[in-house]
Structure 1
């Protein structure tokens, strides 16, 4: 069954411990990356505290809301970050499927909300459903309209469960036999974006005739929705913030030049450009947000 990831020993002062990260059962570790739960029911939050910042990501997601709802905030500039003054769009359906995202995003919950977001590897979604991640890139769609008809009872069944453990068990019981029937024979990757991207490149090289660079890139983009260059950039950015949080714990301060070097960036300026493109924030602003701002709860769970 899915297991609740251990919480950090120290929760930032003044922030609510409302998020949970669940890890999939062993048989689904190369299909599902993780599941994120957010529950603000019972807390009094200011409008700005009900923002939800998310980075660009190669993952697909499937989302449910059990209490309350969310709205998408449309930034005024491409790649910008949504804020309370932005246009607000309703979610496209009761259940939402999101493809790989090349730009950061922000949502807002007008009232206390309890929701579940299941993060899926895009190549696994393709194998399970036949959907092309490339066609879903930067899209947020009605899951019931997009997914095959035999998935629809599962969507409703998860909605009807009384708690997160049973919701995730319901989903995993549905996915497990399907994944067993279609999963690739090659061993799966590690849990980081970089490991997964490397594994995807190896699969692309071995899976079909035609091994020119252009053919491999097309195959990877079809499975992942993003080109390899983008996947590698996200992998380095993820590693940079694991390094940054480790540095804070170990030393009480962060050397961004050192973080850039250890994560494989050309220099600190390169780290800043990539981080802003993926998250909408400079490394320092993102770091401070993770430590002090309610709206960065998803980043805190991830790192």
Structure 2
């Protein structure tokens, strides 16, 4: 079954446990990137601490709430991150499906909340459901209006499971036979974004007649929802993220020029622009938020 990643011993003082990251069983590693579970039930949070920050992502996600609920925070301007007093919008359904996002997003939980977000590789979701990730890009939709009927039954069954381990088992038992029936012959096992983008380009080159650059780009965008150039950008940003986390743990501080160079950016300014575009924050502000702000729990889970 899925593997629960242990919570880091270096949990920031003054913050509640970030949540749990479940990694899929090996047979589903090319289908799922992971599942994040977060519960604030039983903890006292200030209003500011009820904000949740999410980066832009090439992944698709399917989300459940078992207690409480979240609302989307809407930024006043495209170049700013929303705050506590920003407008709020209810998510569109009991279970929501989100496509790849080219911009960071934020949500707010007014009451104690327990929820789960399952992160799918977009090309895998396309094979499993027939949905076009491109049509879901930068959108969050009511899952009951777009998913096949057997998926809705699975969503209902998962909702009624007694605990998170049982929920993951329910999900994986549903997905495994369907994924084995439709998975590519040579599916990639390691799912770092950079490796996945390369593999996707190789699949596009051999999957159908027509190998012009335009035809390959169309094929990739149909499978993944984003152009290859943007997928490669996510790969570099992910590499920089993990390099910064390791540098901070080993050295106590981060030299951003070194991180930029090791991840393949032209210079530190290039890294700063990319980080702002994906997360809404400059690298140092993001690093400080991960280590001291409740709202950045998603990043802390990913760094475990």
Normalised-by-shorter TM-score class? over 0.9
Aligned partners of 1:196, 1:81: CA distance in 2, in Å? 29
SS of 1:116's equivalent?
strand
User: Which runs of structure 1 show a deviation greater than 6 angstroms over 4 or more consecutive aligned residues?
Assistant: none
Give the C-alpha shift of residue 189 in structure 1: 4.2
Tell me which residue corresponds to 2:267.
267
Tell me which residue corresponds to 1:294.
294
**1:185-224 correspondence runs (5 A):** 185-224=185-224
Give the C-alpha shift of residue 89 in structure 1: 0.2
Bigger shift: 1-10 or 174-183?
1-10
Tell me which residue corresponds to 2:132.
132
Tell me which residue corresponds to 1:255.
255
Bigger shift: 78-87 or 159-168?
78-87
SS of 2:81's equivalent?
coil
Q: Deviations over 1:208-265 (max 9, x none)?
A: 1111111111111000000111111111111101111111111111110000000000
**Where in structure 2 are there 5+ consecutive unaligned residues?**
none
Give the C-alpha shift of residue 3 in structure 1: 1.1
**1:1-303 correspondence runs (5 A):** 1-303=1-303
Give the C-alpha shift of residue 138 in structure 1: 0.3
TM score, norm. by length of structure 1: 0.99
SS of 2:221's equivalent?
helix
SS of 1:275's equivalent?
helix
Q: Deviations over 1:106-159 (max 9, x none)?
A: 000000000000000000000000000000000000001110112111010000
8 Å contact kept, 1:70–1:108 = yes
Give the C-alpha shift of residue 18 in structure 1: 4.0
CA RMSD between the two structures: 0.8
Aligned partners of 1:201, 1:8: CA distance in 2, in Å? 35
8 Å contact kept, 1:189–1:199 = no
SS of 2:138's equivalent?
coil
Q: Deviations over 1:12-53 (max 9, x none)?
A: 111101410000111101000000000000000001101110
**Where in structure 1 are there 5+ consecutive unaligned residues?**
none
Aligned partners of 2:105, 2:118: CA distance in 1, in Å? 17
SS of 2:197's equivalent?
helix
CA distance 1:18–1:261, shift in 2 (3 Å): closer
8 Å contact kept, 1:189–1:195 = no
TM score, norm. by length of structure 2: 0.98
